[in-house]
Amino acid sequence: MGVFRKGFYFFTFYLFFLLATNFFLEFLIEMDLFDNIHIFSVTELTRNIKNLLGRNFSDIYVEGEISNLSISASGHTYFTLKDEKSQLQAALFKGFNKKIKFNIENGLHVICFGEITVYEARGQHQIIVKHIEPKGLGALQLAFQQLKNKLQREGFFDKAHKKNIPYLPTKIGIVTSLKGKAIKDILNVINRRFSNLQIFIVPVRVQGKEAAKEIAEGILLINEHRKVDVMIVGRGGGSLEDLWAFNEEVVARAIYNSDIPVISAVGHDPDVTISDLVADLRVPTPSAAAELVVNKKQELQNTINNLFLRLNNIISGQLRFFDAKLKRLVETYFFKKGPQDILLYRQQRIDDFIKSMNNSVNYLMNLKSEKFYALIGKLESLSPLSILSRGYSITMKLKDKIIVKDFRILEKGDRIKTILGKGHVVSKVEDIKE
Amino acid sequence: MEDLKFEKALEKLEKIVEELEEGDLSLEDMLKKYEEGVNLSNICTKKLNQTKKKIKMLTKERGKFIEQDLKIEEEDRS
């Protein structure tokens, strides 16, 4: 009961107070004293609040999640920054937006830097964002990830799109800076080991604001020029910021659209740039790109030498075989009666070839290849002469002067000659079996 | 034969060596092939070692390609 009474007293007092205030206001109006009291216009009040906020919240950081993102036709970006309980309108004007590398997306957790102001038309406070950073991840890393995802979706990294690097390019394009370490490294390798090469260098900036655009234009220029077999696009190592141009979409698109195969050579192993992912081939440094082609040259020289050795191998084996065969035939009574001059002529011709072969062999010896000596040894061991000395023999049908490889050419009673490691025997066929 | 492209010459040489290794040729044919093979391997080696190095700077101005000989300054090693 006491509570009700207390409330009743209070209510009575309150009514009395209201009445008193009302009388007082009416009294003031009647007395024309209200002139001394300031009445704000809405605009004025809003502006005052704006100034007040501006003074107290001029350079502040605020953290939250992006939602309601919209980008106006004029290029300004608007979004709401929110956490569990509150929301804050945010505006990112075009001029500041340009400096931000990553894409602003709904749901992204960010830290904004800027000033609080009041949007007067709506009487709503908001933050004018001057800088924005993704929370947790660096802005550049996030930008890299975003572009990577986007290009992946568009199929930029597909193996099917990658072109083959020509086996022995003779014309090479290079898109890089003339001032950097990259060009010196590449030319060093090329000067040291390369030969029949034509190189076209398209000088571009590889760092700073204009770099990406210039690199992309350089790639396009080489495509328009249509003279090279392959191009190297790259620069020496540096920080993520230094290498940034190679992570820009415009460069990625230029590489993707290039008809000429592109080797990406950005010195920054083991990190990968977007350029590396799009390019037809990726190497860790510019000099590695140059060496890639050089090594192929060495490889080819080895292939040629190898073929040349095989060539000589076969021929010398065969020639020795024929030579031995001829010598033995000449020695036989049968041929002593035959047309000797033809035989001698043939022998001479073979001797000529042996001579020319020896010249070739000498040429190879001059290459001082250890491999060559090894092969010569093998050659010796495979020659028919050494085979004979190991106990094998060659059988000839005496009548037709042909080597017997098949029992079917022989008949019972045929005379055959067997050439041994030393000397030969003549015998008569008594039995033939398969 | 001198005008042969490197790749073609190498291909031909490979074919000749294979033919010879199969061993079904007469002596005369063999020697002919051999001669050709030696010739081809010389051509290949020669082509591979041809020295015709040209380094040019490529730019474009008003829609026209400009090729200039390039001189890269050596790094100062003092």
A315–B20 CB contact, under 8 Å? yes
Q: Looking at the structure, tell me whether residues A170 and A63 fall in a common domain.
A: no
The answer to whether A396 and A419 are in contact (CB under 8 A) is: yes
Q: Looking at the structure, tell me whether residues A222 and A252 fall in a common domain.
A: yes
Task: Identify the residue with better confidence: B4 or A339.
Answer: B4
**By CB neighbour count within 10 A (0-12 exposed, 13-18 middle, 19+ buried), where does A33 fall?**
exposed
Q: Where are the domains of chain B?
A: 6-69
Kindly tell me if the per-residue pLDDT of A264 is higher than 80: yes
Q: Give the mean pLDDT of B54-78.
A: 75
A178–B57 CB contact, under 8 Å? yes
Would A159 be classed as within a structural domain?
yes
State whether residue A194 sits within 8 Å of chain B by CB: yes
Select from A81, A113, A136 the last residue of a domain. Answer: A136
State whether residue B57 sits within 8 Å of chain A by CB: yes
Q: Looking at the structure, tell me whether residues A156 and A81 fall in a common domain.
A: no
Strand A171-176 with A230-235, pairing: parallel
Q: Looking at the structure, tell me whether residues A207 and A89 fall in a common domain.
A: no
Which chain A positions have a beta carbon within 8 Å of B57's beta carbon? 178, 200-203
pLDDT of residue A337: 53
Lookup: tokens for A55: 């003074």
State whether residue B46 sits within 8 Å of chain A by CB: no
Q: Mean pLDDT lowest for which of A23-32, A177-186, B23-32?
A: A23-32
Q: Looking at the structure, tell me whether residues A224 and A279 fall in a common domain.
A: yes
ipTM for the predicted complex comes to 0.75
The domain in which residue A110 lies consists of 43-136
Model confidence at B75, pLDDT cuts 50, 70, 90, reads very low
Would A102 be classed as within a structural domain?
yes
Q: What is the pLDDT of residues A76-135, one digit of tens each?
A: 999 999 998 999 999 999 988 888 888 898 989 999 999 999 998 888 999 999 999 898
CB neighbour list of residue A272: distance below 8 Å, 6 or more residues apart? A282
The proportion of chain A whose per-residue pLDDT surpasses 70, expressed as a percent, equals 82
B10–A315 CB contact, under 8 Å? no
Q: Looking at the structure, tell me whether residues A92 and A183 fall in a common domain.
A: no
Q: Give the mean pLDDT of A330-350.
A: 62
Q: Looking at the structure, tell me whether residues A49 and A107 fall in a common domain.
A: yes
pLDDT of residue A369: 45
Q: Looking at the structure, tell me whether residues A132 and A153 fall in a common domain.
A: no
How many CA atoms within 13 Å lie on the side-chain side of A396?
A: 16
Residue from the list B17, B72, B75 with its beta carbon closest to the beta carbon of A311: B17
Work out the mean pLDDT of chain A and round it to a whole number.
Answer: 83
How many CA atoms within 13 Å lie on the side-chain side of A363?
A: 14
Select from A103, A136, A169 the last residue of a domain. Answer: A136
- The total domain count for chain A is 3
Based on DSSP, count helices (H) and strands (E) in chain A, helices before strands: 13, 14
Kindly tell me if the per-residue pLDDT of A3 is higher than 70: no
Q: Which chain B residues in 25-44 lie under 8 Å from chain A, judged by CB atoms? A: 27, 30-31, 34-35, 37-38, 41, 44
Q: What is the pLDDT of residues A143-167, one digit of tens each?
A: 899 999 999 999 999 999 999 988 7
Q: Looking at the structure, tell me whether residues A149 and A277 fall in a common domain.
A: yes
A195–B50 CB contact, under 8 Å? yes
Q: Looking at the structure, tell me whether residues A158 and A125 fall in a common domain.
A: no
Would A384 be classed as within a structural domain?
no
Q: Looking at the structure, tell me whether residues A200 and A230 fall in a common domain.
A: yes
Which chain B positions have a beta carbon within 8 Å of A183's beta carbon? 72
Q: Looking at the structure, tell me whether residues A70 and A163 fall in a common domain.
A: no
Select from A241, A266, A284 the last residue of a domain. Answer: A284
A300–B10 CB contact, under 8 Å? yes
Kindly tell me if the per-residue pLDDT of B76 is higher than 80: no
Domain of A184, CATH number, reads 3.40.50
State whether residue A187 sits within 8 Å of chain B by CB: yes
